Structures are given as structure tokens and as C-alpha cells.
Amino acid sequence: MSLSDRAYEEIRRMIVRLDLAPGAVIREDELQTTLGLGRTPIREALQRLVRDQFVTVLPRRGMFVSSIDVGELTMLYETRAILEPYAMRLAAARGTEHHWCEMASVLERATATSSPAELIEIDRRCRELVWEAADNRFLTDTLDMLYAQSDRLWHLYLGDVADLHLMIAEHRDILAALHDGDADRAAHLIEAHMRTFNDQIRAAVQRRLDSPLTP
């Protein structure tokens, strides 16, 4: 991994996990100190983050962490609803025993006492293994960016989302379908999985909007 790639991954992780909150000012010197990287990889990473809409440039004002527009939930969902099932179909056809054994091992890390953050990390690793099995880097790069945007929403509304252990159970069903090479079932399961996520986030957003404490 290049220094630029490392900077991109680290800064994006800070944005997704809300260590850099929506609207926060991006300060290159602080990022250099935090990440222990030079100016060039930081700037290259920020340029990529602007393209991926995690960072916004305002002329004469600087760089800011992009706001989270819940109005774009529909676009995010409908895009992933097309690409994720396609990735599942490719993975069912191209995946190997190595992919599915590793996915099973990842899922074994989930326990009744796992924290929401730990469960989300397991969810992400399962997705990454599917993308790796699908073996299409253009598709993977797009899904990676879309997933990160969804992950950011999840972190923002994490306290309002239902039990995340259901998500792990869904991944176990997906794994069984992939292991069997059942592309149709794997595609159907990921569609249902994303629909559940979309419904949960929408409900969480609405509860927050309806709260008497909402300004």
C-alpha cells in the first residue's frame, strides 16, 4: 500500500467513524502529525476524498468534512441495490474455498457480547471478502466507496439502530449460499440485507427528527 493509499484509508476511516465530524475543518498540518505522513500523500488522499464526496472544498475558505445529506439515502440505496447483488453473483461463480473459510472464521468472532463497533467491522470484512471473490476491481472500488458512505450513516445513527446481531445471522445465510454456488439466493439475501439496513436508518432518522429535543 502506498503512502497516499494509507493516508486515504486512515482519513476516510476518521470521517466514517466521526472522529472528523460533518462540517469539521480539514487541517493538513494536523493530519500530518496525527498520521505521521508528509504533505504530498496527505494532499493526494484529500483530492481522492473530494472526488468520493467525503471532503468538500469551499473557495477561499478551505476544506471541510462533507455533511451527511439524509435526502440522498434513496440514491445510495438504489445504487447499492444494483451493484451488491451483481457482486454476489460474481462471487458465487468465482469464489474459492479459501474465501469462504476465511469468511466463516470472521463470522466466528461475533459473540453475544460483541460491541456494535465490532459487529460493523465483521460486516465490513465479510463484504471485502465477497468483493475479493468477485474479482472485479472497478466494481470493488465503487462498492468500497458506497459502503463507506453507508457506514458513515450507520455510525451517525448507531445508537438508534436495532440489534446488529441480526446482521451477522444474515451474513451466515449469505455465506451458505455462496459456498453452495447459489448465485440467485446470495443475490436475494444481500438485497434483503440492504433493505433492512435502509429501513433501520430511515426509521432512526425519523425518530431523531420527531424527537422533542431536536432543534
Q: What is the CATH number of the domain that holds 201?
A: 1.20.120.530
pTM: 0.84
**Residues above pLDDT 70, as percent of the chain:** 93
| Contact indicator for 3, 41 with CB cutoff of 8 Å | yes
Domain count, the chain: 2
Looking at the structure, do residues 140 and 192 belong to the same domain, yes or no?
Answer: yes
Looking at the structure, do residues 35 and 105 belong to the same domain, yes or no?
Answer: no
Q: Look at residue 164 and tell me if it is in a domain.
A: yes
Q: Which domain holds residue 23?
A: 3-65
Mean pLDDT of 156-161: 67
Hey, what's the cell of 94? Answer: 468465482
Looking at the structure, do residues 79 and 45 belong to the same domain, yes or no?
Answer: no
* The pLDDT value given to residue 73: 81
Looking at the structure, do residues 21 and 54 belong to the same domain, yes or no?
Answer: yes
Looking at the structure, do residues 38 and 119 belong to the same domain, yes or no?
Answer: no
Q: Look at residue 215 and tell me if it is in a domain.
A: no
Looking at the structure, do residues 117 and 49 belong to the same domain, yes or no?
Answer: no
Q: Look at residue 141 and tell me if it is in a domain.
A: yes
Residues 6+ apart with CB under 8 A from 47: none
Q: Regarding predicted confidence, which is higher, 157 or 131?
A: 131
Q: How confident is the model at residue 161 (pLDDT cuts 50, 70, 90)?
A: low
Q: Is the pLDDT of residue 215 over 60?
A: no
Instruction: Give helix then strand counts, H and E, for the chain.
Output: 9, 2
Domain CATH for 51: 1.10.10.10
Q: Is the pLDDT of residue 110 over 70?
A: yes
Looking at the structure, do residues 154 and 204 belong to the same domain, yes or no?
Answer: yes
Looking at the structure, do residues 152 and 88 belong to the same domain, yes or no?
Answer: yes
Residues 6+ apart with CB under 8 A from 103: 126, 129, 130, 171, 175, 178
